[in-house]
Amino acid sequence: MKNIVILISGRGSNMQSIVAAAKTQKWPAQIAAVISNRADAEGLIFAAEQGIPTSVVVSKNYLSREKFEAALQEKIDQFSPDLIVLAGFMRILTARFVQHYASRIVNIHPSLLPRFPGLHTHRQALESGESEHGATVHIVTAELDHGPILGQVRVPILPNDTEASLANRVLNQEHVLYPHVIRQILQGELNLSLGAPSERAS
Ligand code: GRF
């Protein structure tokens, strides 16, 4: 049984979709913990209701990113994780932290990377006149939103779309994409190692 640790900062709807898929599809893995850097993350309530161990490591209580990450790492490692899943985890990670979890850390980003890394992706997609938008699951590397791509989902941009309507449509697809990619990882269909480009998953 593999251990998955999910990191969240807020709502946790992607986390919920992963928890549900793990259960209904009987993954050979358990959600060993859901960890948040904010005590008020709504997703913690859902996780606790599901009987999943939850933890909070409050980022703003630490004087430096390194000190926060040291505490976070200690917490994560208590659960012997095989896979770390970032699901709306709103902290930039240092190279040292990412290196510690090399080959076992993934993220979902609400854009068709390499388009629109960073924040406000839906607004950027609308303003740039794109005809489609979407979401990407990728391996986490030290460069924000730039790791090798594991899977993408495309969503058309409609004439009357607002930031909210587009975000909502993308989010619905994220809830399909993220569990799908994690399942592929568990089944050994995707390789998370950052070796030579020819060995990469994308
Ligand atoms: C999602 O859009 C995800 O792609 C981005 O942050 C949002 C998190 O939403 N990284 P939720 O907390 O999973 O509901």
Phi and psi at 118, nearest 5°, equal 85, -155
CA distances from residue 141 to 63, 75, 92, 95 in whole angstroms, order as listed: 24, 21, 11, 7
What's the whole-number average pLDDT of the chain? Answer: 95
170: number of Cβ within 10 Å: 23
Q: Residues near 30 by Cβ (< 8 Å), separated by ≥ 6?
A: 1, 2, 3, 4, 22
Q: Are residues 89 and 68 in the same domain?
A: yes
87 alpha carbon – ligand 1 mean position (Å): 6
Q: Are residues 137 and 116 in the same domain?
A: yes
Which CATH number fits the domain that encloses residue 65? Answer: 3.40.50.170
Indicate if ligand 1 lies below 6 Å from the C-beta of 109: yes
* Residues across the chain: 202
Q: Residues near 103 by Cβ (< 8 Å), separated by ≥ 6?
A: 192, 193, 194
Q: Are residues 1 and 94 in the same domain?
A: yes
Flag whether pLDDT at 194 surpasses 90. no
Indicate if ligand 1 lies below 6 Å from the C-beta of 108: yes
Flag whether pLDDT at 199 surpasses 60. no
51, 75, 101 - which closes a domain? 101
The verdict on whether 109 is a catalytic residue reads yes
* Number of domains making up the chain: 2
Indicate if ligand 1 lies below 6 Å from the C-beta of 10: yes
Place of tokens 């095989």: 82
Half-sphere exposure of 180 (CA within 13 A, CB side): 12
Q: Domain of 94? A: 1-101
| pLDDT tens string 24-44 | 999 999 999 999 999 999 999
Q: Whose CA is nearest to atom 12 of ligand 1?
A: 12
In what side-by-side order are the strands of the sheet with 29-36?
Answer: 54-56, 29-36, 2-8, 83-86, 105-109, 132-139, 149-156
pTM for this one?
A: 0.95
59, 82, 101 - which closes a domain? 101
| pLDDT tens string 58-115 | 999 999 999 999 999 999 999 999 999 999 999 999 999 999 999 999 999 999 999 9
